Amino acid sequence: MPELPEVEVVRRELSKLVGGRIVRLVSSDKRIVKKRIHIVGRKIAGVERRGKWLRIPLDEGFVFAHLGMTGDWTVHDVDEAALPFERVRVDVARGRTMASARYTDPRRFGRFITTDKDLPEWNALGPDPFLEKMDLDRLARIMKKRRSSVKETLMDQSVLAGIGNILATEALFLARIDPRTPSNRANARDLRAIEKGIRTMIEKMLEYDEGKRARAPFRIYGQRTCPRCDAKLRHVVLGGRSSIYCPRCQKRHSRK
């Protein structure tokens, strides 16, 4: 499920619960769930997102949630049976109505943390490109210091929060930049193109994830040939993640 757009859709879904009171928590998976405080009886004050993390402020304390690789939250009726791969269930009373939030996660890389203070992981996140305008000067400063690829730098959550493998792949395709380009070789024009690519992809992926778009907006992720020039797409591994690009359309901008 999870890159910035998917997590944003989950945030909107869970926002239905704001104002409600937690009346029951079902969770047995010790890998996913870390309980530092008791949350039954607490009231849900909001649902926030930064990058791929969710923060749910309560009247006392917080819940932090991460979807890992295969996690998802959905809101159901309380009488609904457990879903396949259901790992956490939070029942919420709001007036006379009840709702039941279910967390499913086959691969169990996700997290559900109850705590009375902010998480270091949350505080370490860089700016979220959907919540705030991208600071290209800051990005340029960071890029200049690194020699790993632009794609790896974009996916570093302390650089920009929320960019995952697909978003980075597709944004770089739109920007016509080779993902292997060393970060310190990216110039201001490249960064402007990348910013635009990221913005465009977030919008399209959001529409898709909200069901307003029938087909996934991916141009090269999972494809074999370039939709622009018909060249055979190429695979490389960057930072341990598989990456795809068009060797004809995507260039390394190695000059200053």
Partner DNA sequence: CGGCATGTTGCGCA
Partner DNA sequence: TTGCGCAACATGCC
- The site for DNA (CB under 7 A) is made up of 1-3, 6, 31, 51-52, 66, 68-69, 85, 106-109, 121, 142, 145-148, 152-153, 155, 157, 164-166, 183, 239-242
Q: Which of 50, 52, 102, 180 is catalytic?
A: 52
Output the smallest distance, CB 142 to DNA, in A. 7
Neighbours of 40 (CB within 10 A): 12
- Closer by beta carbon to DNA, 100 or else 169: 169
- Closer by beta carbon to DNA, 208 or else 250: 208
Output the smallest distance, CB 104 to DNA, in A. 11
- Closer by beta carbon to DNA, 20 or else 164: 164
Neighbours of 166 (CB within 10 A): 19
| Residue whose C-alpha is closest to residue 203's, from 177, 181, 161, 170 | 170
Q: Which of 3, 8, 152, 195 is catalytic?
A: 3
Helix (H) or strand (E) holding 178: none
Edge-first strand order for the sheet with 62-66 is 33-35, 111-115, 62-66, 53-57, 48-50
Output the smallest distance, CB 129 to DNA, in A. 14
- Closer by beta carbon to DNA, 114 or else 153: 153
Q: Which of 2, 129, 179, 217 is catalytic?
A: 2
Tell me if residue 241 is catalytic: yes
Q: Which of 16, 241, 248, 252 is catalytic?
A: 241
| Residue whose C-alpha is closest to residue 65's, from 28, 10, 17 | 10
| Helix-helix angle 165-174:188-209, to 10 degrees | 120
Tell me if residue 3 is catalytic: yes
Tell me if residue 2 is catalytic: yes
Output the smallest distance, CB 98 to DNA, in A. 29
| DSSP E strand stretches across the chain | 21-27, 33-35, 48-50, 53-57, 62-66, 72-76, 86-94, 97-104, 111-115, 234-238, 241-245
Q: Which residues are catalytic?
A: 2-3, 52, 241
